[in-house]
Every structure is written in structure tokens, then in C-alpha cells.
A and B are shown apart, each in its own frame.
Chain A
Amino acid sequence: MSLLSVTDLHVFYGNIHAIKGISFEVNEGEIVTLIGANGAGKSTTLNTVCGLLHPRSGQVVFNGENVTKNAAHQMAGKGMVLCPEGRRIFQQMTVRENLEMGGFTRAQGDLEGSMQNVFDHFPRLKEREKQIAGTLSGGEQQMLAMGRAMMSRPKLIMLDEPSMGLAPILVEQIFEIIRELHAAGATILLVEQNAQMALSIADRAYVLETGRITMSGEAGDLLQDDAVRKAYLGE
């Protein structure tokens, strides 16, 4: 059974029909990626899945439960977390406080264990524990955003453009961490403009074009597909 299943989703911004009936699923243990150009509706899709936006029609089923109408703050407790575009860490709070917020839905006693787990993946955050998050470098802020998302021990982590604005060496590092998380059993839904990196790491992929899914399949196959190479890999 799929962990996340989205059926015939339609999302509007006022009169603008942003998502025009997409369906996709994510199975337990998979890395699935949504690739597409700027404005294709990738972030809108993630924001709708996690309840920040609500669809006009269609269904979002997570872990066997229909969560289409749920509010965003209910989702973390159900085991779904979005690491949003632009990171959106709490700039004026310390690294530790950011992580505590990530574990907001967990019992207080669980926090230390979750935090240790985050520090194991991101030793740099341990060093910066007491620092104000806004003073971290871009790469560190991305690590913090991912660590914060891991704090609730989610079944599904959705990552929206984790490589945005980072130097190539940091992009490599971030993808390495995504691989580690996957190896540790996490299910990941990844949205990326960096299609090359996303396809090389994912099990399956969907191509989103102006609100519709135009192609889907094994990530390795799409990586070899001529149309995809032309449109998204700059060849």
C-alpha cells in the first residue's frame, strides 16, 4: 500500500487554475521526485499535500487516512513533514530552539533522542547548537531546516528545493544526506529544479508541466529519456 496517494488534485489561486488534476503516489521507503520548470506547480503540490493550501477537488490519502481537509498543524502529528522552499528556519531563535520547534508534536521526553539523531546526521549543528539560526551560512541553514523536519520522526519527509541557492559542493552534501536518510529508512518526496541530481537519487519521478503530470516512471529511465534530457537537463 502506498504511504501517500494523491488523486485528481485541482488547486486554484483565486481564478488561476494552478494544479489541473494530478495524481501520484509515494510508497513506503521510496524516494520520489517531482521535477519541472519554475511555475509548474511543484511547491503548490507540496503545500497542498501538507495542508497549507486546500484543493478545490481531489483527494490526499496519507497512511490510509483521508487528510484532504486537514489543517497544516495537524499533519506533523500524523507523521508528515514539509521542509519548505527557502528553508524558513526561525531566524531569531537558536539552532537548538529551532530543533525543539521541529519536535513540537513529540513528548518532551522524546526530544533528546530525536535531537541526538539529528546531530548524528549533522554534526555541524551540534557545534552551532546555541547560535542564533539567522547567523548560520546558507548550507548550515538548509541542514537546520532538514534537521528540524526530522525532529518529529516523520514517516514522510517532503523536501522543497533543498539545493536552492547553495554552492555546488553544498548541493552534493545535501544530496548525500538525503541518501543517508533514505538508507536509514525514511520515505522522501523531493521537489527539485536540479533535475539531474534529483533523478540520480530518486527511485521514481514525475514530470510536472504547468499543473499537469506529463511523464512518470523509474527515475533511471527518465534520466535517459530524450525529451526529459532536452527540457530539464539542458541538452
Chain B
Amino acid sequence: MAQFLEALVNGISLGSLYAIIALGYSMVYGIAKMLNFAHGDVIMVGGFAVFILMVSNGWQPLLAVIAAMFICTVLGMLIERLAYKPLRGAPSLAVLITAIGVSYFLQNAAQLLWGANPKFFTILDYGNLTVHIGDSQFNISIGKLLSVAVSVAIMVGLSLFTGKTRIGKSMRAVSEDRGAAQLMGINVNATIAITFAIGSALAAVAGAMLVGVYGVQLSPTTGAMPGIKAFTAAVFGGIGSIPGAMIGGILIGLIEILVGTFVSTDLKDALTFAVLIVMLVAKPTGLLGKPMREKV
């Protein structure tokens, strides 16, 4: 029982981390209609930014994370402006290959700049909370609980932003019908740039938590696997849907940890993707995805 509860808590906390990465994939897909496979590598850059500021320059963790968010925001907008914007209107395959190219570029640039040796740092290190249930007991990292709180705050904030603000609503309008949005006077290029800015800032937070709280080693390929997992989560929840990305992220995190705890650590990734395949066969649009109507 204690083991199950521990896995449940860990699954939710890992899942909430996937969720904020998945939000970046999903928002960009919804608005720019492209899969930004370089998103995972922006997470890695965020991690390095925190590492360099905090460990090498002695900044406060919170300040370092905020600065990393700013750095990734600029990086994300730069990637969009230089690599993706010139391809607006190009076949989606060309954009996809470009995104993969940007991903390799970022990984190799990181290796050149910061080397391939794994690095570590810790943020939110407040020890463990011990929970007693009957005779048994288990530990929960307070840092992980705080990271869940941060993720939830981000999700709530983003929901309010897209639901209530003028810019947020215009993002939804562009995601639904780019042409009609333009007729309303909405600048689609600016909207896409804002989307990349938000997604990349979230990636920086994810990078900081992935390394600083979850103890993943920081190297130029750090972002690849969480990126793929979060992409899976976005597809699972229905890509383009913001609540879908949140639910998908948490479910993928839960499946991964529960399978890892009770079935086999070796099989956890395989089974996670197997669940995705079953999901896509049963409901191709994902949990909350809406079928896209082809416009003629």
C-alpha cells in the first residue's frame, strides 16, 4: 500500500513535469501547426543556463531559474524567427525536418560550448517528508511536491491566460482558423512568436526541475528523452489541446512510474508507448483532441 502511494505521488509529480513540457509542444502545434522537435533541446539549454549561473557564478537558484526562463524565451523566439518563419506555408514535412535539424544543432552547440561530461545541480532541496500509514511508511521529497505546485500554478496561469485575456483568446482564434483570425486584425506572426516565447520559458522551468529536483544528469542530450515523453503526452491528451497536454502529461508520468515500480523498470518506456499506441487506435485524436476538419 505504502509502495503504491509512493509510486502514485512520484508518478503525479513526474507527470506534472511532463505536462509543462507537453504544453510547449501542444501550444506550438495548435497555433503554428508544426511539431517543434527542438523543444526538448530548449529544456537542455535551460538546464545549462541554470547550471552556469547557479553553480559557476553563484547565483541564487530562483534568480538563476528566472534568468534561464528569459534566456530560453529569447532562444525560442530566435529559433522561430530564423528557422521556422521563413518556412511559413512550406510543406509540413520541410518544417519537421528543419525542426529535427535545429534539435541536432542545439545538441552539438551545447557539446561544443559546455562539453559532454554530465553535470548536476540541486534546487528546491528541502529533504523528505515521511508519511506513516499503519505500520508502513514512505518518503516523499519536498522538492518534488513543490515542483508539482509550480507545475499546477503554471497550468492554472496558462488556462487563465488563454481563457480570459485578449492575447490568450487571440491565440485560440489563430489556432482554430488562421485566415479568419487575420481578418479580425490579429497578427498571426506575432501570435506564433508569443507562443514560442511561452513554450520556451516553460521549457526552462522544466529543465531546471528535471536536473535540479529529479536528479537527471545534465548533458547535451538531456532534453531528448523527456522531450519525446512529453510529445507522447501531448499526443495522448490530444495535441493542440491545453487541458489535454496537462492530463496526458500526468497520465504518462503515472504509467511510467507505476509500470517501473510494479512491472519492470526495463519495460517502463516500452509499456508507456504501448499505451499510447492502444490509445491512438481507440481514439486517434487523443483524449481531448478534436477531429480536424479539412478545409476546402
Contacts and interface: CB of A to CB of B under 8 A. Distances in A.
B184 interface: yes
A59 B186 CA distance: 24
Interface stretch (A81-89, A119-127, A171-179): A81-89
Contact of B169 (A82, A89, A100): A100
Which among B172, B182, B183, B184 has the greatest number of chain A C-beta atoms within 10 A?
B183
B90 to A, nearest CB: 15
Contacts of B172: 90, 92-93, 97
A104 B166 contact: yes
B27 to A, nearest CB: 15
A156 interface: no
A93 B185 contact: no
Contact of B180 (A74, A88, A97, A152): A88
B277 to A, nearest CB: 28
A72 interface: yes
Interface in A64-108: 71-77, 81-82, 84, 88-93, 97, 100-102, 104-105, 108
B173 interface: yes
A50 interface: yes
A71 B188 CA distance: 10
Contacts of A50: 183
Nearest to A82: B183
A150 to B, nearest CB: 12
Given A93-B169, A97-B169, A104 B186 contact: yes
Interface string B174-194: 001101111111111000000
B177 A105 contact: no
B283 interface: no
Contacts of A54: none
A73 B185 contact: yes
B172 to A, nearest CB: 6
B26 interface: no
Given A92-B290, A93-B169, A97-B169, A104 B176 contact: no
A52 interface: yes
A153 to B, nearest CB: 12
Contact of B181 (A71, A91, A97, A101): A101
B107 interface: no
Which among B177, B180, B186, B187 has the greatest number of chain A C-beta atoms within 10 A?
B180
B221 interface: no
Q: State the majority secondary structure of interface residues on B.
A: helix
A155 interface: no
Given A92-B290, A93-B176, A73 B169 contact: no
A148 interface: yes
A102 B184 contact: yes
A93 B171 CA distance: 11
Contact of A108 (B166, B177, B184, B186): B166
Interface in B208-223: none
Nearest to A145: B180
Given A100-B166, A104-B170, A108-B166, A73 B186 contact: yes
Given A77-B185, A104-B184, A152-B185, A88 B177 contact: yes
A84 B183 contact: yes
Interface in A25-52: 50-52
Contact of B170 (A81, A91, A101, A148): A101
A92 B182 contact: no
Which among A51, A91, A92, A148 has the greatest number of chain B C-beta atoms within 10 A?
A92
Contacts of B180: 84, 88-90
A130 to B, nearest CB: 13
B89 to A, nearest CB: 13
A71 B166 CA distance: 21
A100 B186 CA distance: 12
A101 B177 contact: no
A160 to B, nearest CB: 11
B188 A52 contact: no
A81 B182 contact: no
B166 A73 contact: no
Contacts of A91: 176
Contacts of A77: 185
B184 A84 contact: no
13 contacts: A52-B182, A71-B182, A73-B182, A73-B187, A77-B185, A84-B180, A89-B180, A90-B172, A90-B176, A92-B172, A97-B169, A97-B172, A102-B184
Given A73-B187, A84-B179, A97-B172, 13 more contacts: A50-B183, A52-B183, A73-B181, A73-B186, A73-B188, A75-B185, A76-B185, A88-B180, A90-B173, A93-B176, A101-B184, A104-B170, A152-B185
Minimum-distance CB pairs A-B, first 6: A76-B185, A105-B185, A72-B182, A88-B180, A73-B182, A104-B184
Interface of B: 166, 169-170, 172-173, 176-177, 179-188, 290
